[in-house]
Amino acid sequence: MKFLMPIVIFIVTAILIALGTAGATRLGATTGITSGSALPGLSSSARTPEEAVGKLLNEIQKRNWAVAYGQLADNSNVDLDLFTRDLTGTNGSLRTLSGLESWELQPLHATNQEAQIRTTLRWSTAVGPIRDVRDLNVVRQGDVWKVVWPVPKFPNLPAQIVPVTYLRWDLVTPNGEGVWGDRAVDAPHVRIVSMNAVPYQNGSVVMGEVVNEDTIPAFVNVNASLIDRGGKSMAEESSFDKISHVLLPKQVSPYRIDFPDVSFQDVKNVRMDVKATLVPASADPVIGIMNQQIESDSDGRNVLRGNLMNESGQAVNIPHVIATFYDSNGRVIWVSDGYVDRPLLPQLPEPFAVELPGPIVGKVKNYHVVVNYYNNSKS
């Protein structure tokens, strides 16, 4: 009897290992999720291009940078530090706060010796998922397929002096507190200048623009309440991050409020409310927006694409792009936003793209883009 328990433990352990191995082999190469490493003594060589990309991304997902780097076909041409920085981000960008959640693989073409795989990476962040599409080349080395990783290129900024000419508003209080906002003084005069409620998918969306009509900066938030046919409130939501919260004097910002679970057919009225608080602010950094155009991306989605140019001397850690789309009557018909997961370094362009629904594209007569931002040095 004294040998019974070790035998039972051994059998149960063997069964669990077998089940785990079988479960891992059932994972398709098209969609990536976390799976375990190969058991000692078992080959981990990739026999297909999709398997090579999947194994690489699996190690990247687990943040095993050295192991992932060792799987590259051209690691002699790609520095390990640059490879890691390309995936983990720099300068406090959104990528530095992200993790690889999943991926999808789409073979573009293949021969017996090389292939190209379109890889759609989904990074999880505090502000929602971020998509990153890369076309990866895969080559065959003997009986093994390996990924050719593009050599990362990071800008080498020269030392320079950037003159500071921006406006700045400081908040001074008798006790020296109230650095962010102070309700002991009158709130800035902020007004909603337009509102448009529309159905979207199975829910409702309220959008428009708000303006700071005062001579002092304001922290702004827009709230909406949907009223049913009986005069009762069905749901209340705020603009959250789909707005440029800090508005300088006379500045206009779009806003969008989503009600994904409220059918538009049940809505009789919309009750709006705007809150404003006095805050310190500055007109720096100045971010230019260039080369804007609506086009289709590699997945056939309609996007507004362009470049951001940081014209100041300080890095912007997390840029947030908000685009307002107007019809021929100047009415706001959609507000779209998106985060750039790379930092905006001084005097260097960075691409951006925000999606817009297909039915809206034909109605767009004009559009306007504003850039919000978050810096590590600011709350």
Alpha-carbon distance of 78 to 85, in angstroms, equals: 12
DSSP secondary-structure letter at 48?
S
Q: What is the CATH number of domain 26-148?
A: 3.10.450.100
Average pLDDT of every residue of the chain: 85
Residues of the chain with CATH 2.60.40.3230: 287-374
The residue assigned the tokens 């559009």 is 367
Question: Is the pLDDT at 36 greater than 90, yes or no?
Answer: no
Please state the pTM of the whole predicted model.
Answer: 0.81
Which range has the worst mean pLDDT, 13-17, 157-161, 293-297? 13-17
Residues of the chain with CATH 3.10.450.100: 26-148
Instruction: For residues 23-50, give the mean pLDDT.
Output: 51
User: What CATH number was assigned to the domain covering residues 287-374?
Assistant: 2.60.40.3230
Q: How far is CA 141 from CA 22, 49, 109, 246, in A?
A: 27, 11, 18, 55
Segment 72-85 mean pLDDT: 90
Place of tokens 């827009």: 222
Yes or no: say if 303 and 370 are a contact pair by the CB < 8 Å rule.
no
Q: Is the pLDDT of residue 282 over 70?
A: yes
Q: Which residue from 132, 133, 137, 131 is spatially nearest to 150, judged by alpha carbons?
A: 137
| pLDDT attached to residue 166 | 86
Which are the contacts of 369, defined by CB distance < 8 A and separation ≥ 6?
289, 292, 304, 306, 321, 322, 323, 324
Contact 209, 252 (CB under 8 A): yes
Peptide bond before residue 285 is cis, with ω within 30 degrees of 0: yes
Query: What kind of fold does domain 168-282 have according to CATH?
Result: Immunoglobulin-like (2.60.40)
d(CA 160, CA 155): 14
Q: What is the pLDDT of residue 375?
A: 86
